[in-house]
Amino acid sequence: MSVTTAPPGGAPQDHRQHQDDRDHRERDREQGRSRAGRRLRRLAGRPGLLLAVLYLALVLGWTVAPGLFAGQDPLHTDPAQSLVAPGSEHWFGTDNLGRDVYARVVHGARVSLVAGLLAVGLALLAGSVLGALAGYLTGWLDHLLMRVVEVLVVIPGLLLSLTVVSILGFGTTHVAIAVGIAGIPGFARVARAEVLRIRGSAYVQAAVAGGNRTPAILVRHILPNASPPVLVLAALDIGGAVLSISALSFLGYGAAPPAPELGAMVSEGRDYMTTAWWLTTFPGLTIALVVLATSRVARALERTGVSS
Amino acid sequence: MTRYVLVRLGNGLFVLWAALTVSFMVLHLVPGDAVTVMLRGRGGEGSSVDPAAADALRAQLGLDRPLYAQYLDFVWGAVRLDFGTSFATGDEVSAVLGRSLPPTLELAAAALLLTLVAGVAAAVTASLLPSAPLRSAVWSVTVAGGAVPSFWTGIILLQVFSFRLGWFPAFGEGDLSRLVLPAFALALPGIGTLTQVLGRSLRTALADPYVRTARAKGASRLRATTVHALRNAAIPAMTLFGMMVGGIVAGAVITETVFSRPGLGTLTAKAIDTHDFPVIRALVFLVGALYVLINLAVDLVYPKVDPRIVLRSA
């Protein structure tokens, strides 16, 4: 489910990065500039990241208000206008039923992105609760939970999602849940490792000695300190989740046919591979760019640290 | 060493048993009644189910028996590689799997070989490149490789190399030329990941003193990288490679669908379409078993690559 995108180089470069950040911070303090302004200027210096942020903003716009970006109805068929090549009338052309491909991509991206966020949200929530419980309570519960995670890892994410979909039935929500379930082990592992690291620290011991109850310690002391790496994983996972969801939609387990969905659009366009390239190219490209952009932004978050 | 292998084998058996239990549960996790879902197929809620047919299927699947008896039967059957009969075709599940396995193994082997060769070549090339912009270009290409949906890659490959250029036949299986495009489509995401992981550990290894020593004694950059550093950088890549095998077999679901190849992937897609739970169960178990075996093999190869690693049962 994950797309590995950590930067090359490792420690030395990170160190330099931190040094840079510190220099920036000092200069900014001297000049008395706001944090937001500093961030914007730093963004402008990295064109790749800027493009990624802009593209994601566009897709978010599609998600929030698809009608604003695509004037045409994604379901409106017009046999007289079938398989028209991309042009000023239809930016991404039309499909075999004369539906506007651009409108379908806009609405389809919305479905894929919402489903992806749902999947990651589910994996994040369930995985961190399981991982945090295992890491904090240790003992037999930890043992049991980690064994379960180990077994889930053995079954490849795609096959696990496929199995869950076959159990739950087809449809976009079920696909999102299936992809989310496949993502749980990763979050459980990271959350457990973080909690294990933190629970030995002095401030947690002080909280225990101070007579706080376990839930209070978990929520007030451990959660805030364990969340940044888990949230970075969540950001990194969004791209992978969108990929898995479109793969399942491509295989035909997502929304029922007339509804636009990016993976399903690529699948439908397969019959016109030789005559109408735009049917597969635009939805495919949209998915690839969403995945690339989210992973680019997630990597930037990872490097600067979510909390800073 | 023997003790380590035995402990690992025991652990693997435990995971296999757990995977088996998970696949047993598949049929029982279906909300409502699995038999009704299977008989309805894609018809959904509205379609009616003949009660006599439902009872017959229930008896055939053993669902009319107590749970513990079903479980024991299932485990005992799996030990003998007997997974019952397919609901969709009525064939023995193990026979269906046996028929579908060879083409997928061929495809997966080709994809893994391609991943290995291309991944190592790209990582070594990237570390040999003299300029930083070129290195980061290779880096961006590998990241992009992981971002492109594999079903779309397959279609682009078909459009360009089969239809436009006519270099490779488009569909089906058979001779080697029909294997090239699907293997590449299946391998692409893995190539990117492997290049990134190997490239990172190569960079660390190249900074080590023994590389400088080798260079001082007259080894070329290429030789220092491939002969000296590569072996030291190989361990994380090997771990990754072992974990990728299961993903590649599962990815065959998409690749085989795109290229209309028969195999485990198309079998999986068909089984899920028809809610053929006996086949799905067996597939889950089979892929899990493959994962356990491959990772055991990778564990055992570690000390051959890096003699400093001593296998010990922790």
pLDDT, tens digit (0-9, with 9 covering 90-100), for A98-146: 788 788 888 888 888 999 999 999 999 999 888 888 888 878 888 888 8
Using the structure block, give the residue that is written with the tokens 């457990």: A192
Q: Residue A193 is part of which domain span?
A: 116-303
Q: Residue B39 is part of which domain span?
A: 1-88+278-314
Residue A81 lies in a domain: no
Q: According to DSSP H, which parts of chain A are helical?
A: 11-31, 35-44, 47-64, 66-69, 101-137, 139-154, 157-168, 172-199, 202-209, 214-217, 223-250, 262-269, 278-304
Residue A107 lies in a domain: no
How far CA A151 is from CA of A164, A262, B11, B26, in Å, comes to: 15, 32, 11, 14
Write down the pLDDT at residue A93: 75
Residue B96 lies in a domain: no
pTM value is 0.82
Distance from the B65 Cα atom to the nearest Cα atom in chain A, whole angstroms:
21
Q: Does residue B78 belong to the interface with chain A, where contact is any CB pair within 8 Å?
A: no
Residue A212 lies in a domain: yes
Residue B93 lies in a domain: no
Instruction: Decide which of B135 and B97 is more confident.
Output: B97
Report the CATH number at residue B204. Answer: 1.10.3720.10
Q: Does residue A144 belong to the interface with chain B, where contact is any CB pair within 8 Å?
A: no
Q: Are residues B126 and B263 in the same domain?
A: yes
Residue B27 predicted with pLDDT over 60: yes
Residue A24 lies in a domain: no
Write down the pLDDT at residue B62: 74
Residue B284 lies in a domain: yes
Q: Does residue B62 belong to the interface with chain A, where contact is any CB pair within 8 Å?
A: no
For the stretch A238-294, pLDDT in tens is 888 999 999 999 988 887 777 888 888 888 888 887 787 888 888 888 888 998 888
Q: Are residues B264 and B119 in the same domain?
A: yes
Under an 8 A CB cutoff, do B143 and A6 touch? no
Looking at residue B230, what DSSP letter applies? Answer: H
What is the number of CB-based contacts under 8 A between chain A and chain B? 156
Contacts of B143 in chain A (CB under 8 A): 3, 5, 292, 295
- Total domain count, chain B: 2
Using the structure block, give the residue that is written with the tokens 């089969």: B162
For the stretch A147-157, pLDDT in tens is 888 878 888 88
Residue B289 predicted with pLDDT over 90: no
Q: Tell which B residues from 6 to 35 touch A, by Cβ distance under 8 Å.
A: 15, 18-19, 22, 26, 29-31
Q: Are residues B306 and B230 in the same domain?
A: no
Q: Are residues B204 and B291 in the same domain?
A: no
Residue B94 lies in a domain: no
Instruction: Decide which of A305 and A97 is more confident.
Output: A97
* Centroid of chain to Cα A46: 21
How would residue A308 be classed by pLDDT, with cut points 50, 70 and 90?
Answer: very low
Nearest-by-Cβ selection for B280 from A163, A170, A263? A163
Report which residue type is found at B192. G
Under an 8 A CB cutoff, do B247 and A263 touch? no
Residue A207 lies in a domain: yes
Instruction: Decide which of B275 and A20 is more confident.
Output: B275
Contacts of B150 in chain A (CB under 8 A): 247
Q: Are residues B106 and B254 in the same domain?
A: yes
Under 8 Å between Cβ of A142 and A135: yes
Residue A264 lies in a domain: yes
For the stretch A31-85, pLDDT in tens is 545 666 776 777 666 777 888 888 888 888 888 887 777 777 777 777 777 777 7
Instruction: Please provide the average confidence, as pLDDT, over all residues in chain A.
Output: 80
Residue B167 lies in a domain: yes
Residue A19 predicted with pLDDT over 80: no
Report the CATH number at residue A125. Answer: 1.10.3720.10
Under an 8 A CB cutoff, do A4 and B204 touch? no
Residue A136 lies in a domain: yes
Q: Are residues B265 and B285 in the same domain?
A: no
Q: Are residues B111 and B147 in the same domain?
A: yes
How far CA A20 is from CA of A28, B124, B191, in Å, comes to: 12, 30, 33
Write down the pLDDT at residue B111: 92
Residue B81 predicted with pLDDT over 60: yes
Residue A85 lies in a domain: no
- Total domain count, chain A: 1
Write down the pLDDT at residue A305: 61
Q: Are residues B30 and B175 in the same domain?
A: no
| Burial of residue A15, with CB atoms counted within 10 A of its CB: 0-12 exposed, 13-18 middle, 19 or more buried | exposed
Contacts of A162 in chain B (CB under 8 A): 250, 253, 268, 272, 280
Q: Does residue A150 belong to the interface with chain B, where contact is any CB pair within 8 Å?
A: yes
Q: φ and ψ at A94, to 5 degrees?
A: -125, 160
Residue B268 lies in a domain: yes
Q: Given phi > 0 = left and psi -120 to 50 = alpha, else beta, which region is B172? A: left
